[in-house]
Amino acid sequence: MKELLKQYRETRSLLMGYKINAPEEEKELISGMISDLQYAIDWMNRGHKPDPRRGINRRSRGQRTIPVDPLKIQSYAQPAACGSPTTLSEYERYQIEDALSTLSERERECYIMKYGKCYSIGDIANILNVKRGTIQDYLKKAEEKVKNNIENSLFLVG
């Protein structure tokens, strides 16, 4: 294994040297080969598959998790526009109201516009006549409050 790793490193070094003087049409190919070799070297060094390279995979679980089901919050925000698959029961509506109960008026408004009515942050900022950063702050605080409320509320079990 050590010999193979040594050969891969030597090959990577050779390719890096070739890339400097290579014609433009070959540089992309050589870059791909270098990237593949680096991936194999990382795999052999760690003894397991290297971590994903995409930014979405480096986010924490909390950043990848949506605290409330999007279909339910949309049905809550626009009950008349929803068909039978997303119609909420009274208990589900009560659960959402309980989860949103700790939000300030502005946080609630932003949260429902973002997740219930699917507005972009820019659209919300234009509608409320505030900066995008302010909307992001409201949403961050609202998401944290909703998450904490869901984790700690006896009414939101199930």
CATH number of the domain within which 104 lies: 1.10.10.10
Pair 74, 146 in one domain: yes
Least trusted range by pLDDT, from 45-49, 79-83, 90-94, 96-100: 79-83
The answer to the question of residue 73 being in a domain is yes
The answer to the question of residue 56 being in a domain is no
Q: Looking at this protein, which amino acid is placed at residue 134?
A: T
Pair 144, 122 in one domain: yes
**Tens digits of residue pLDDT in 3-31:** 888 998 899 888 888 888 888 888 888 88
- Torsion of Cα atoms, 56 then 59 then 65 then 70, to 10°: -40
The answer to the question of residue 81 being in a domain is yes
The answer to the question of residue 39 being in a domain is yes
Q: Looking at this protein, which amino acid is placed at residue 120?
A: S
pTM: 0.49
Query: What is the model's pLDDT at position 101?
Result: 82
Pair 118, 145 in one domain: yes
Pair 85, 137 in one domain: yes
Pair 33, 72 in one domain: no
70 vs 8, higher pLDDT: 8
The answer to the question of residue 30 being in a domain is yes
Task: Decide if pLDDT at 157 tops 70.
Answer: no
The answer to the question of residue 121 being in a domain is yes
Q: Looking at this protein, which amino acid is placed at residue 58?
A: R
d(CA 142, CA 63): 14
**Tens digits of residue pLDDT in 119-128:** 888 989 998 8
Pair 87, 36 in one domain: no
Pair 119, 143 in one domain: yes
The answer to the question of residue 158 being in a domain is no
Query: Residue 112 — very low, low, confident or very high, per pLDDT cuts 50/70/90?
Result: confident
Number of domains composing the chain: 2
Domain residue limits at 111: 61-152
Which pair of structure tokens corresponds to residue 29?
């190919």
- State the average pLDDT over residues 71-75: 67
Pair 24, 82 in one domain: no
